[in-house]
Structure 1
Amino acid sequence: MGFTMGLLGGFTLTTSLLYLSVQLHTRNRLYQSALLTQQSLVLENVVDPLPTPHAPVNRQIRLGAWETAKDRWNQELESNVKKLQNTDWSAVGERVEESISSVWRRAFQGTRDVIPDAPKK
């Protein structure tokens, strides 16, 4: 390793260590500042407490027919999704099977009665 590479390696190592130590020092000071601010607020509230805030009033602002239409759409969509989530799909499947089988039976029972037997020779 030559003089230049040694010099650059040492410079890189030294600046890295300085940078990391300054960053650690900065973060520690910021954390201590936040703690001191919090403790100051706690002590101020013990001596002179803040008044309790009033409960916010629930106010809904309607901007017009477009907003009303969007609200209705959202309510209808929400009710349809809830209906889909609460549906017993196995019962629906059984009802569909029963209706298809009854249509199938009616279709083929009706054709037996309509089609006469073929004439015998």
Structure 2
Amino acid sequence: MGFFAGFFSGFALTTSMLYLTIQVHRSNRLSQRNAIREQTQAINYIALSRGAYDRRLLPADKDAEEVSAQVMGLGTSRSGSGSGVQDQLKHQWNEEVRKLARKAYESRWEDVRDTAVEGWKGVRRLVKRE
């Protein structure tokens, strides 16, 4: 009786682990498929010839509105109450990105190196004192 119990318990353990592994793999593939689909839609929306430079100039098109809502993660429901806050947050975000990009563009590697060297010397002095 011990052989059959061991055999069937091993079989049950192996099949359950195989089933769980397959289900995890399947759910990962589905989530990757959905992410790739969303990214493809976003890239296609960005690559539209209409309004390529300024999205505010796009004509009010139902398909474009749905795609832009999906790209922004807002869903297809349109409510006018949060648009002012949303625009303000977008503006703040764009200003922060613009400032960081300007700072990265205007920074020199020599200054970064000198700052890092000075910081390292300060840490070394602090450690040697103690």
| TM-score w.r.t. length of structure 1 | 0.41
| TM-score w.r.t. length of structure 2 | 0.38
